[in-house]
Chain A
Amino acid sequence: MKEWLVRWLSGDMELLDNVSDGEEVPDSSREDLKKRKKEIRQNIKGTESVVSAERKGFFAFYHAVAVLSCMVLIGVLMYTVANLPRYGEENPRTVEVVKRYVEHGVEETGAINIVTGMILDYRAFDTLGESHVLFTALVCVLILLRLDEKTVRGGHLDSYYRIKEDRYFDISGDTILRLVGTILVPCIILFGIYVLLNGQNGPGGGFSAGAILGAALIMFSAAFGFDAVDRVFSAKVLSLTTFVSLAFYSIAKGYVFFTGANGLENHIPKGIPGAILSGGLILPLNVAVGMVVACTMYGFFSLFKRGNIGGA
């Protein structure tokens, strides 16, 4: 039996008074609170009108500038587009370059797909820059998002635990996702390798193949957890692959640039156009670019998701 019930049964009337007081107290406090709220609101309203007038002026100015700059940008872009040559029409300014590429492209580069021939032979220096841009982006994301023991000791414990919780509530054990991953991932990897090796003969090439392979890796790690990927694809493997690919690209293309600029003989065989092993350096360069892109995409996903790559 409870103590207050015993006292009530024995006729203690003070308890009832206390109870009624206890019930009235929250009501009065509520009324007090309402009054206080009203007072505070009235006080705020006095200052609000000044602040809102300032804010309204600022936002009107902001909207006006935003709309104006947007209109100017649209005008500039429309003017540029209007001055472009029509679709499928010859551009008189670049007709020599286009003619050279279309007529002599196959015999000079050994690639049937003239787009790949342009990207990885005539304009290979641009592609080198692009793959280095991707590598730099990966390094920047690594600097910004990486969580290691030093940052945890430095007082960022909350974010570290949040990410651990994210891993705890991972959906990688989901049955449907696992089954779909089991069926789809091999097909995606196979398609990626086909696009990678077929770049000089058909549509495809390093960038698209690298994106497809990276997507396959992302799907695998989402379905089977990061631990399954870490066994094969650790941070060391990723950095080594990226370094070897970029270094190979730079050295191989540097050799071609050096011999081409000095009129020396190029010892790289062109092969028969149409075969897989054709196009001289195009196939290995495609593989190098594809590796860099795949590593970058998977690195982005891993860093966004858990703050490190391959457990390091």
Chain B
Amino acid sequence: MEMKLIFRVILLILLIICAIAVNLTKNLLQSVIIFMFYSSVMCIIWILMESPDLAITEAAVGAGISGVLFLMTLKKVRSEDEEQKPVIRSDERKEQGGRTEP
């Protein structure tokens, strides 16, 4: 019984650490991955609390589909960010630095 209790306490501490880390991480990709890890830990806790129905749903929705949707949104946001930056290609740089022939 004690082993089970220790396991449960470790999982709950992990849950709290994940919940704080999601907010404090500055890299969005890392925070999405931590969020998915949070869902997996929550899934194990549901099994320990004897509610397998919720565990299946948590694993499928929390760790699976919402993670995929987050990652896709992140990709779109990043591509929009990159478009706003002025990009100088290597051949343009050569034209600006090199002297033009008269």
CA distance A211 to B6 in the complex (A): 32
Residues on the A chain within 8 Å of B61, using CB: 211
CA distance A300 to B66 in the complex (A): 10
Write the nearest CB–CB distance from A197 to chain B, whole angstroms. Answer: 14
CA distance A233 to B98 in the complex (A): 56
Q: Is A214 an interface residue (CB 8 A)?
A: yes
CB within 8 Å for A218 and B68 given contacts A3-B102, A4-B101, A304-B73: yes
Write the nearest CB–CB distance from B69 to chain A, whole angstroms. Answer: 6
Residues on the A chain within 8 Å of B55, using CB: 203
Q: Is A116 an interface residue (CB 8 A)?
A: yes
User: Chain B at the A interface: mostly helix, strand, loop or mixed?
Assistant: helix
Q: Is B9 an interface residue (CB 8 A)?
A: no
Q: Is A241 an interface residue (CB 8 A)?
A: no
Q: In chain A, residues 14-33, which have Cβ atoms closer than 8 Å to a Cβ of chain B?
A: 22
CB pair B56 A204 closer than 8 Å: yes
CB pair A22 B99 closer than 8 Å: yes
User: Chain A at the B interface: mostly helix, strand, loop or mixed?
Assistant: helix
CB pair A203 B52 closer than 8 Å: yes
Report A127-150 CB contacts with B as 1/0, cut-off 8 Å: 000000000000000000000000
Write the nearest CB–CB distance from A253 to chain B, whole angstroms. Answer: 20
Q: Is A291 an interface residue (CB 8 A)?
A: no
CB pair B73 A297 closer than 8 Å: no
Q: In this complex, what residue of A is CB-closest to B72?
A: A304
Q: Quick one: which of A113, A115, A195, A218 contacts B65, CB cutoff 8 A? A: A218
CB within 8 Å for A203 and B56 given contacts A4-B101, A4-B102, A304-B73: yes
Q: In chain A, residues 181-209, which have Cβ atoms closer than 8 Å to a Cβ of chain B?
A: 195, 203-205, 207-208
CB pair A207 B57 closer than 8 Å: yes
CA distance A3 to B101 in the complex (A): 9
Q: Is B2 an interface residue (CB 8 A)?
A: no
Residues on the A chain within 8 Å of B68, using CB: 218, 301
How many chain A residues touch B (CB < 8 A): the figure is: 26
CB pair B65 A203 closer than 8 Å: no
CB pair A215 B60 closer than 8 Å: yes
Residues on the A chain within 8 Å of B73, using CB: 304
Report B45-77 CB contacts with A as 1/0, cut-off 8 Å: 000010111011100110011001100110110
CB pair A301 B69 closer than 8 Å: yes
CB pair A162 B65 closer than 8 Å: no
CB pair B64 A215 closer than 8 Å: yes
Q: Is B79 an interface residue (CB 8 A)?
A: yes
CA distance A22 to B51 in the complex (A): 79
Write the nearest CB–CB distance from A258 to chain B, whole angstroms. Answer: 29
Write the nearest CB–CB distance from B48 to chain A, whole angstroms. Answer: 11
Residues on the A chain within 8 Å of B76, using CB: 304
CB pair B65 A214 closer than 8 Å: yes
CB within 8 Å for A162 and B72 given contacts A2-B101, A208-B60: no
Q: In this complex, what residue of B is CB-closest to A162?
A: B79
Report the 4 A-B pairs with minimum CB-CB distance, sorted nearest first.
Answer: A203-B52, A211-B60, A208-B56, A208-B57
What are 6 residue pairs bridging A and B, where the CB atoms are less than 8 Å apart in the complex?
A2-B101, A22-B99, A115-B51, A116-B53, A218-B68, A304-B73
